[in-house]
Homo-oligomer: A and B are copies of this chain.
C-alpha cells in the first residue's frame, strides 16, 4: 500500500561505473524509500559486479532498504517498474573515437563530440534505433513507469522515446545547468555576499531555456539578490584570464574542465548566461568562434576531450570495480549533487521541486516547434512533470538555436525512416560542416556511418 516502499526500479546500462555508482552512493543515504534496482546491461559481467558492489554498499550504510539485482532479460528488467533509468554508451568508445577524431582530418575539432557537430549527429544515427527499441519495450512492459534519461545526445534520445511511444512518461536529466548555478554561487561569494563555499547550488534560482547543452539563463537570484549585476561584475573581473574554480582539477590537467571564458564571452555578446560547460557551448557555435584550431581552444582555456582519455579512465574504473567487488577497496559515499533521487521522491509525492529538464515542447519554448525536445525549468510533483514556460528568445539567439533544433528534428526523422540521404542533407546544415565542400562532407559522412552505424539497423 505504501507507495514509497518496495519500489521497483530498472537501470538500463546498469553495468555503468559512472552514473550507476553515483546512484548507489545516493541511495546509500536514502532512508525514506526502499526497493529493488534491477541492473540491466548488455555487459552482463559489469551488471553483476555492480549487483555485488551495490549490495555490499547497502549492507554497510543502509541495510534493509535497497537490493541490487543484475537482470539479463530486458522484459524481466522492465516488468512492473515504477522508475527506469537510462544511461548507456551507444556502442563503444571505438565508435566514439570515430565520432570525435575522424573529422579532425578536416580540421573539425570537437570538444566533446556527443551532442552537436559531426560526432553528435552520427552518434544519434546509431542511438536512435536503440532508443526506439527501448521505448517499445517500455510501452510493452512498464508503460506507467517514469523514465529518467541520462544518455547523450540527450535531446535526440528523449525525442526518440516520445516519438516511438507518445504516452511515455520520460524526461531527460542533465547536470550542466547545475555547474552554472555553482559558478553563480561562486560569483556571489566572490562579490562578498557570503563566505566562500557557503552558498548552496540549490539556492541559486534560475530561469532556464533552450536546448540541452545550449541552455540559457535570463534571470538568476540568490535569496533577494539579483545575480545579473553580480555576474556582470564577475565577467569584467575574470573575462581576460578566465576563472579557476579552485581545487586540484583545472582545464590544464582535466579534460572536463574549463575557465568559463566561452560562457563569459557569450554573455558579453548576448546578455544572457549560457548554462552549460564551455566544451558543450562551443560546439553549438560557428567553429570559427572557439573551435577553429587546438590553439584557439587553448586560448579560450577549455579542452578537446580525447576519447583515449575516456578509455583510460574506464580502465581505471574497471580496476576499481574489481577492487570494490572483491572487497579490496571500499566505495566512499558522498552527496553527488545529482537530483535523480530527489526527483524520484518528488514524483512519489514527497515534496515538490522546480528544476530544469528536457521535455517535448508543448508551448514552454515560444517560437520553437512543438514536440521538439527543449530544456526548461519544470515543476515536479506527485506523478507529474510540468514544464515552466520560458520567454521568447531574442531573434539572433533564436536563429542560432533553431539551426540545431532543425538538425535534431531532421536527424530523428531520417533515422526513423533509416534514410541516409535525408540524414546527409541534415548533416550539411551543421555549422561545423560548413567548412567542407559537399564532396568532402559526403566522404566524411559515409566513412563515419560505415565505421560506426551497424548494418543491422537497416539504414539505406
Contacts and interface: CB of A to CB of B under 8 A. Distances in A.
A429 B396 contact: yes
Interface stretch (A12-20, A113-121, A407-415, A444-452): A407-415
A4 B384 contact: no
Name the prevailing secondary structure of the A interface residues: mixed
A379 interface: yes
A10 to B, nearest CB: 21
A223 interface: yes
Nearest to A268: B438
A386 B390 CA distance: 7
A389 B363 contact: yes
Interface residues on chain A, size class: 35 or more
A428 to B, nearest CB: 7
Contacts of A103: none
Contact of A436 (B288, B381, B391, B425): B288
A388 B359 CA distance: 13
A398 to B, nearest CB: 7
A207 interface: yes
Nearest to A206: B381
A309 interface: no
A221 B383 contact: yes
A205 B222 CA distance: 26
A321 interface: no
A2 B438 CA distance: 41
Contact of A386 (B3, B226, B349, B389): B389
Contact of A382 (B221, B288, B383, B391): B221
A163 interface: no
A292 interface: yes
A321 to B, nearest CB: 35
A277 to B, nearest CB: 20
Contacts of A233: none
Contact of A270 (B296, B388, B402, B425): B425
Contact of A391 (B225, B362, B383, B406): B362
A403 interface: yes
A447 to B, nearest CB: 18
Contact of A223 (B350, B403, B428): B350
A226 B349 CA distance: 9
Contact of A3 (B222, B224, B369, B437): B224
A287 B348 CA distance: 41
Contact of A387 (B296, B388, B422, B433): B388
* A-B complex: 5 closest residue pairs judged by Cβ atoms: A363-B363, A399-B406, A224-B349, A396-B425, A221-B382
13 contacts: A2-B224, A221-B384, A223-B349, A225-B382, A286-B434, A288-B434, A296-B437, A362-B366, A377-B386, A394-B425, A395-B406, A399-B426, A403-B403
Given A289-B437, A354-B379, 14 more contacts: A226-B383, A269-B425, A269-B438, A287-B434, A288-B437, A362-B363, A363-B363, A363-B389, A387-B388, A396-B410, A396-B425, A396-B426, A399-B402, A402-B402
